[in-house]
């Protein structure tokens, strides 16, 4: 039997130059370096320059992903951008990325699933490839969360940062079993009952403002560990694998305690978890491709490794992808 598989043929990322440390935040709100590190593992975050918009970060990451895939922009037939901090209400940030990369064919659209955005975008792109409708897809997670933070609210403003990560997802023939390279299983979920636990208090049709991020942190935390362990269990079951088969978990980076708690629940050694939350904080849809690019470029993730990407975010939304590198 043959099957079309989606393989990650290139990765890239971009972080704005400006770094905001916990110490810097001590001068803005009633917080401390010790509290932030102990409760979240975060030491610093990158903040976009005033003249940068989300598509700028996305294009910088995408250009590096194209270079590492050895492809030109003209080879891309679909762009999917996961973001909750679009340049404009419309058109989509994806079409702006398309324009900036000089691509005039194919299609481009945004996906909005907050911190799960990259897993949603990857799952969508995988389905386009498996259906034979695309050959090389740019899947990008890009965010400027610093623009939707209430910088007077210490319970949220210390948690987030800006950045972008990108991959090129390419079609490759496989035999249809677990020996194939590429995405072997993916699952996405949402449960709108929890809509008001993590949200932005503004919007086009409600307030005609952008709004600020609001979160019931403890509740989100509680759901995150349970939902993430459960959805990772699903992709393992889909592929008849167990936790022992996993070489690397590349999780959404919200809180080091969530990463540790999920690994413990799955009985996976913390050594197999890629952690960037200390340096990047929570970059929402950008956090997984940022962490993935780092672990690929420093040689941790190598050919044939079984890699799991997982995320949970506002909505609630959550999901996981299992792939062979």
Hey, which residues does 21 pair with through a beta bridge?
44
Residues between 271 and 300 with contacts to ligand UT7, criterion CB under 6 A: 282
Q: Does 223 bind ligand UT7 (CB under 6 A)?
A: no
The number of residues that bind ligand UT7 (CB under 6 A) is: 21
13 interacts with ligand UT7 by CB under 6 A: no
**Active site annotation includes 189:** no
The least CB distance from residue 121 to ligand UT7, in Å, is 16
| Binder of ligand UT7 out of 108, 125, 158, 321 (CB under 6 A) | 158
191 C-beta neighbours (distance < 10 Å), count: 12
Q: Which is nearer to ligand UT7, 169 or 312 (CB)?
A: 312
Is-contact 166 64, C-beta < 8 A? yes
Rg, the chain, Cα only: 18
Whether 6 and 170 have beta carbons less than 8 Å apart is answered as: yes
Nearest residue to ligand UT7, by Cβ distance, number only: 217
CB of 251 to ligand UT7, least distance (A): 10
Shortest distance in whole angstroms from residue 200 CB to ligand UT7: 13
Q: Which DSSP string corresponds to 93-157?
A: HHHHHHHHHT--SSEEEEE--GGGHHHHHHHHHHHHHHTTS-SEEEEEEEEEGGGG--TT-HHHH
Q: Does 27 bind ligand UT7 (CB under 6 A)?
A: no
Interface map 99-128 toward ligand UT7 (x if CB under 6 A): ----------------x-------------
Asked if 107 contacts 92 with a C-beta cutoff of 8 angstroms, the reply is no
| By the rule CB under 6 A, 221 interacts with ligand UT7 | yes
Interaction between residue 198 and ligand UT7 (CB under 6 A): yes
**Least distance (Å) from ligand UT7 to the CB of residue 159?**
6
Report how far apart, in Å, the C-alpha atoms of 80 and of each of 37, 70, 94, 101, 132 are.
Answer: 34, 19, 6, 14, 16
Any contact of residue 39 with ligand UT7 (CB under 6 A)?
Answer: yes
- Of 147, 217, 247, 305, the residue at the interface with ligand UT7 (CB under 6 A) is 217
Which of positions 247-266 make contact with ligand UT7 (CB under 6 A)? Answer: 254-255, 258
Q: For residues 160 and 145, is the Cβ–Cβ distance under 8 A?
A: yes
Give CA–CA dist 123/129, Å, rounded: 10
Q: Any catalytic annotation for residue 247?
A: no
H or E element: which one contains 287? helix 287-297
Residue 309 touches ligand UT7, criterion: CB under 6 A: no
> What's the angle, vertex CA 323, arms to CA 242 and CA 103, rounded to 5?
165
- CA nearest neighbour of 121 among 133, 113, 129: 113
DSSP symbol at 313: E
Sorted by sequence, the CB contacts under 8 Å of residue 206 that are 6+ apart come out as none
- Cβ proximity to ligand UT7, 43 vs 99, nearer residue: 43
- Catalytic: which of 252, 255, 280, 321? 252
Q: Is 282 one of the catalytic residues?
A: yes
Indicate whether 190 belongs to the interface with ligand UT7 (CB under 6 A): no
Residues 43-82 that bind ligand UT7 (CB under 6 A): none
Is residue 155 close enough to count as binding ligand UT7 by CB under 6 A?
Answer: yes
Classified as helix, coil or strand, 258 is helix
Q: Which of 22, 227, 255, 282 is catalytic?
A: 282
Question: Which amino acids are annotated catalytic?
Answer: 115, 252, 282
Using CB under 6 A, list all residues that contact ligand UT7.
31, 35-36, 39-40, 115, 154-155, 158, 198, 217-218, 220-221, 224, 254-255, 258, 282, 312-313
């Amino acid at each position: 039997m043959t099957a079309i598989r989606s393989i990650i043929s290139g990765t890239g990322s971009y972080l704005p130059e400006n770094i905001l440390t916990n110490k810097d935040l001590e001068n803005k709100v009633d917080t401390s370096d010790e509290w932030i590190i102990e409760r979240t593992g975060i030491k610093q975050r990158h903040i976009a320059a005033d003249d940068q918009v989300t598509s700028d970060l996305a294009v910088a990451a995408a250009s590096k992903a194209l270079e590492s895939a050895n492809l030109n922009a003209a080879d891309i037939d679909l762009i999917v951008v996961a973001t909750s901090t679009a340049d404009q209400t419309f058109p989509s940030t994806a079409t702006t990325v398309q324009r900036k990369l000089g691509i005039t064919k194919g299609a481009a659209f945004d996906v909005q699933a907050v911190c799960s955005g990259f897993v949603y975008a990857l799952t969508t792109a995988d389905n386009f490839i498996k259906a034979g409708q695309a050959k090389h897809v740019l899947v990008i997670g890009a965010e400027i969360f610093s623009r939707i933070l209430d910088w007077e609210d210490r319970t949220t403003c210390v948690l987030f940062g800006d950045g972008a990560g990108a991959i090129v997802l390419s079609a490759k023939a496989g035999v249809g079993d677990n020996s194939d390279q590429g995405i072997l299983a993916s699952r996405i979920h949402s449960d709108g009952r929890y809509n008001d636990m993590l949200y932005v208090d503004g919007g086009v049709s409600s307030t005609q403002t952008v709004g600020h991020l609001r979160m019931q942190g403890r509740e989100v935390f509680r759901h995150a560990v349970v939902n993430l362990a459960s959805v990772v269990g699903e992709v393992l079951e889909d592929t008849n694998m167990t936790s022992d088969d996993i070489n690397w978990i590349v999780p959404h980076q919200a809180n080091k305690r969530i990463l540790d708690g999920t690994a413990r629940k799955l009985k996976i050694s913390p050594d197999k978890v890629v952690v960037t939350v200390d340096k990047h904080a929570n970059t929402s849809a950008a956090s997984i491709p940022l962490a993935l690019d780092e672990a690929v470029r420093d040689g941790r993730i190598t050919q044939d490794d079984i890699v799991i990407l997982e995320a949970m975010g506002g909505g609630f939304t959550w999901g996981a992808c299992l792939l062979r590198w």
